[in-house]
Amino acid sequence: MKCSFCGYEFNESKTTACKSCPLQANCGKIKCPHCGFEMPQENFVWKWFRRRRRAAGAGRRHGQRKTVCPEGMTLSQLEAGKEAVVSHIDTGNKSILNKLMALGILPGVKVTMIQKFPTYVFQVGNTRVTADEQLVNTIMVQKT
């Protein structure tokens, strides 16, 4: 399984349930061992589809080589006034991941860069966020 927040791939059968939760095994959520993000379990159909697609080479036809797609760019590289979609968060620091999650910055969310100097100001939904360069460089985006 792949974490939808940090992109870490792990085996869902080896994950442990929340120790403080009274529903431990029956809550229907899986906790990422890397960032602690909780997500719903995949249903049978989606697991089957993902395995079949992976086995078929992710949609490649016979004779085609695997192309490496660019990861996009960091949010700091986005021009002022432009809009992009968050592709993933590139950090191993759990406190930064928690901070971004609390601000609503998740993969798939649209982000608009408002200004880059003297500090980075960007908008996520109806929220304007001011951040330093270190934090902005951990957010990977793709232009829309």
Q: What local confidence, expressed as pLDDT, does residue 68 receive?
A: 34
Q: What local confidence, expressed as pLDDT, does residue 39 receive?
A: 77
- The answer to whether 139 and 89 have CB atoms below 8 angstroms apart is yes
pLDDT along the chain (144 residues), means of 10: 78 68 67 80 69 58 42 89 92 88 91 94 94 93 90
79 and 17 share one domain: no
User: Which residues, in sequence order, are bridge partners of residue 120?
Assistant: 131
CA atoms within 13 Å, Cβ hemisphere of 10: 21
9 and 60 share one domain: yes
- Give residue 132's domain range: 73-143
DSSP 9: B
Q: What local confidence, expressed as pLDDT, does residue 113 receive?
A: 96
83 and 130 share one domain: yes
Number of structural domains, the chain? Answer: 2
Q: What local confidence, expressed as pLDDT, does residue 60 receive?
A: 45
pTM summary value? 0.56
Q: Which of 24, 46, 67 is the last residue of a domain?
A: 67
